[in-house]
Amino acid sequence: MRIEDIDTPRSVAGADKLILQQLSALGMTWDGDVWYQSERLAAYEHAFETLQAKGLVYPCGCTRREIADSVLAAHGRLPDGERPYPGTCRDGLAPGRKPKSWRFRVMPDTVRFHDRWCGDQAQCVAEQVGDFVIRRADGIWAYQLAVVVDDAEQGITDIVRGQDLLSSTARQRALAQALELPTPSVMHLPLVTDDQGLKLSKQNGAPAIDTNNPLKTLVSAWQYLGLGDLSASNLEQFWGEATARWAGHFYE
């Protein structure tokens, strides 16, 4: 279990306890102690120093507005989603500029991997994303670096998450390769959305998980994934049948 609270200004007091309570109410358990990213800053610093020693990070003095203007000037429009960093500071800061963030120097290779839900994937990070931030302007470590370091240290072998994070996978694999860390198997599942197609989330006003009827909540999630009906009448039966069915469906 890992609480990803690396973005400390946005962390809400008590949110971690609520998450753990909800998972417990749904019959979920986890191995070992709970990890908090906010307590692992030294590990991220060490990874940063490793990359720095290899010449794979550099300071960037660009603002978001400057990056957008550069992309607009080069392409005539702003693309949907990612705005590839044009490499303005790749060869050094311009005179008088101060670093606002630190970027990972991306290689021109195409990153390829197989996703167990979405199939074979390929992304040239250099073209589609550019050198990306691993330490933000406010000094906070970026999500991409933190999860790569933590996945390796926790011995994560399989990642199952939402498809909104599929585009992050190539970046994380590029970082893992540079740090000489293993790359877990990945599966990116469809997002649960509302009638307008918005992801169910706190930002979009989605209701909280109903833990008053945990079995009904779990069965609803299971059916949304199109995995059929379950005959479980309690949480223990649900997890027993669901785990066996999931393993048979995805690991045969």
Q: How many helices (H) does the chain have, and how many strands (E)?
A: 8, 9
Identify whether 87 is part of a domain.
Answer: yes
Identify whether 225 is part of a domain.
Answer: no
Distance, in Å, from the CA atom of 111 to the CA atom of 99, rounded to the nearest integer, reads 28
| DSSP state string for 182-201 | ---EEEEEPPPB-TTS-B-S
Domain that holds residue 29: 2-212
Distance, in Å, from the CA atom of 136 to the CA atom of 77, rounded to the nearest integer, reads 25
Identify whether 37 is part of a domain.
Answer: yes
Please report where in the chains the tokens 């877990």 appear, as a residue.
Answer: 184
Identify whether 194 is part of a domain.
Answer: yes
Instruction: Work out how many domains the chain is built from and give that number.
Output: 1
Identify whether 240 is part of a domain.
Answer: no
Q: Which helix (H) or strand (E) holds 248?
A: helix 235-250
**Cα separations in angstroms, 216 against 52, 69, 113, 137, 186:** 50, 50, 35, 44, 27
Identify whether 134 is part of a domain.
Answer: yes
CB 5 within 8 A of CB 36: yes
* Residues 6+ away with beta carbon under 8 Å from 4: 37, 143, 146, 147
Residue 49 is part of a domain; what is its CATH number?
A: 3.40.50.620
Distance, in Å, from the CA atom of 120 to the CA atom of 114, rounded to the nearest integer, reads 4
- Coil, strand or helix at 127: helix
pTM (two decimals): 0.89
Going from the first residue of the chain to its last (252 residues), give the mean pLDDT of each consecutive group of 10, the final group possibly shorter. 92 92 95 95 98 98 87 65 86 92 96 96 95 94 97 96 95 98 95 82 78 92 82 93 82 54
Instruction: Using DSSP bridges, classify how beta strands 2-3 and 35-36 pair: parallel, antiparallel or unpaired.
Output: parallel
Distance, in Å, from the CA atom of 58 to the CA atom of 234, rounded to the nearest integer, reads 54
| Dihedral angle of Cα 152, 4, 144, 166, to the nearest 10 degrees | 90
Identify whether 58 is part of a domain.
Answer: yes
Distance, in Å, from the CA atom of 10 to the CA atom of 4, rounded to the nearest integer, reads 11
The end-to-end CA distance of the chain, in Å, is 26
Identify whether 247 is part of a domain.
Answer: no
